[in-house]
Structure formats: structure tokens, C-alpha cells
Amino acid sequence: MTGVVVSSINFSIVVSAVFGTAELMASFGFLQRMGCGPVIRPDRHTTTIFFVAGLVVLALLMARPLYFFPFVWLSVYFILEPINIWLGNRSLASWVGVGDWRPVVALWLGALTCGFFWEM
């Protein structure tokens, strides 16, 4: 039981650190000036492909965790993002659907920064 509590506390700290760092990254001028990128529309076809890709990556992760461990969070994203879209919830796809990749890049940089400083 203690391990579960400690893991939950650690996870909640990491998630808030990533989102806080992503907000910091979004405030920098280079990210605010970033132009439009490719448009990926969150239609039924695209979200189904994302969902299936997430399931495939999760299955690979379960079958060969030694090789596919880097895809843990990617599989979660590719499974949950389509579910959010189908349920009508807010998602990153609404930004990417109009070519605005700034929130995605900010989250990526936030996670990368937190991962870098975690290892120091």
C-alpha cells in the first residue's frame, strides 16, 4: 500500500511539473512566433487510425517492454486523444486541426525539459 501512495504522489508531482514547464515554454517568444504547421483534421478516419495505432503500440509494449518502453506515454496519448474527441471533450486535436502546433510543441518541450532535469 505504501508503494502505491508514494507512486501516486510522485506521478502527481511529475504531471504538474510537465504542465507548468509547458506553460513556461509557451510564454517564450520563439514558440509564440511559430508559424502554422501541417493540418491533421480530427475526423472519424484519423481518430480511428490514432486509436488503433495506440492499441498496437500498447500491445508491442506489453509483448516486448525492453524494446518498446519509450512508447508508454505515446500509447496512452494515441488511445485517449481519440476517446476525448469522440466524447466531445477538449483535446490537442482541435489545435492541430487548424495547423496550430504550439500547444503540442510546448508540451513536448515541457516533458523534455522535465526529463532532462530529472536525470541531472
CA separation, residue 7 to residues 14, 15, 16, 73, 113 (Å): 10, 12, 14, 16, 21
What pLDDT shows up at residue 119? 60
Query: 7-26: per-residue pLDDT in tens?
Result: 667 666 777 888 898 998 98
For the chain, report the end-to-end CA distance as a whole number of angstroms.
29
Please tell me the pTM assigned to this model: 0.73
Does an H or E element contain 22, and which?
A: helix 2-26
- Asked whether the beta carbons of 39 and 50 are under 8 A apart, the reply is no
Using 50 as the pLDDT threshold, list the residues of the chain that sit under it.
Answer: none
The reported pLDDT for the residue numbered 10 is 65
Which pLDDT belongs to residue 74? 86
Give CA torsion, residues 105, 107, 111, 112, to 10 deg.
10
Listed residue (102, 85, 105) closest to 45, CA to CA: 85
Tell me what pLDDT residue 115 has: 80
Q: What is the reported pLDDT for 90?
A: 87
